[in-house]
Chain A
């Protein structure tokens, strides 16, 4: 009987969250790039039972992505260098979006190599009713600045967020790059430029070596590290952002279980995204929803939102 309660709206109310202007049935979202366009996951996850999903990052035009090898396994994580292969904004709107079940909440992810590309893609996507929010992927090289990631330079990031904000109706999230000295500064820039929320963090830039070849394991050289290995780094960054801004935070980084999700919520995340765990077990998101519900019921938590940012101060601070 316990499992049956999951589908009951009354019992699941404790998981409802208000996040950046969105009413989510629970705080569990699937992260961009790990969930396709949602359709691929329907055999494994009831899309109407999770908070929503962030679709694979879109560019104005379709993109093929990098040559193989594109992924590699490392301790407690993986490297990827897919280079954002995607069907393009138009094909997403025409072919993918109409197929997504009505009750599923869809967040579109956008990236580009120039600000104008982001702006155009966001304009087009935010005119679609089925797109509940847009998440800007700021971990892309800015061509005009010699390839530095948008998210690595506060000025460039500010310019990007400001311009996209003015062309985006509805909820705008910015996914921050962790490859920075001061994540809080980036969070403040996003808040100042009108972002409704931030997603923290994207993959960590990383390298692994094939000793036999004396070469990077990835065709592209560098890749993004994701999976349980990055969870403590992500928690730290979510906590630092929570201290710095008052816009809501969506925590991302190595979340594989309800316990992991709760850690992010305590550190200040109002919602969370599950990424690499979708590869390990395609049913992860739904399992985490179930785990959070069990936790709330066992610990008499009336609303999971009450736990946001409730991390106790470190022991040395307690007199």
Chain B
């Protein structure tokens, strides 16, 4: 019955990706349910026996940036890309190779497949890009895939080198103009959709960015998935702490269980 217990994992590496972003490489031994792109894990930067002494106490929901096979062939390696924004991520930054962490997952609903598979556009901003890499990698093997990435500066574009290694079209926007187009990444979306047949848009980034992407996709009647970030205590649908509004009188959805990926039309954007 118990198919997804919390697991001990070992830190293989914890290196800078540049621009204040880091990549935590974790090896999870034994059986691990295959994740689909867009899913996440709950990560505590301590071993399971220590979790109740951890300060901060709560595990952190983290996007699975990339999955890999282990050198031994059993278990799995997952990469978690992150920026230090508070005490939880500061503890992650302090973790040395060989140290133990606790992970629960993979959790939540990932990205849906593009309808007719003609073409897909992925648009990411800031650390939201971390949710998109695995999806971009898989999509690029099946259909025309355009990736639009944005950040304040060129250095801050998370995983740019990794995306450049995939066979897809990559366009970049920076707010300081240090790379690619000068401005917001959402400015690139209308012209991209003008130029290519697109059956699905996928977005992850700041709320203001996703709201704009949702509006642009809606105008063109293109289905659009957005991946939502929120604070959560459990990640498995029982604390009900990660509720987001579904619009006037429609109640709430849970980011952990109903999401983190949502069809953008289901959300009450005016309240998000």
Interface residues, chain A, with chain B CB atoms under 8 Å away: 33-36, 40-47, 56, 64-65, 67-73, 75-78, 80, 82, 85, 101, 227-228, 256-257, 260, 276-283, 286
Contacts and interface: CB of A to CB of B under 8 A. Distances in A.
Nearest to B102: A281
21 contacts: A34-B234, A36-B237, A41-B236, A41-B238, A43-B4, A44-B6, A45-B2, A64-B252, A65-B243, A68-B242, A73-B57, A73-B233, A80-B233, A85-B252, A228-B52, A228-B53, A279-B239, A281-B51, A282-B5, A282-B236, A286-B2
A282 B234 contact: yes
Nearest to B246: A64
Given A64-B251, A78-B233, A280 B238 contact: no
Nearest to A81: B241
A65 B245 CA distance: 11
Contact of B2 (A33, A43, A65): A43
A254 B245 CA distance: 30
Given A76-B57, A78-B58, A228-B52, 6 more contacts: A68-B242, A70-B240, A71-B233, A72-B231, A260-B52, A282-B236
B6 A278 contact: no
B51 A71 contact: no
Tell me the interface secondary structure of chain B in the complex: loop
A80 B57 CA distance: 14
B231 A44 contact: no
B72 interface: no
Given A65-B252, A280-B52, A282-B234, A80 B6 contact: no
B59 interface: yes
B244 interface: yes
Interface of B: 1-6, 44, 48, 51-59, 102, 104, 230-234, 236-245, 251-252, 257, 271
A3 to B, nearest CB: 13
A44 B271 CA distance: 33
A34 B239 contact: yes
Contacts of A72: 231
A77 B257 CA distance: 23
A278 B238 contact: yes
A260 B53 CA distance: 12
Contacts of B237: 36, 40
Closest 7 CB pairs of A and B: A256-B52, A71-B241, A279-B234, A279-B233, A36-B238, A43-B4, A64-B251
Between A45, A56, A73, the greatest number of chain B beta carbons within 10 A of the residue's beta carbon is seen for A73
Nearest to A71: B241
B106 to A, nearest CB: 12
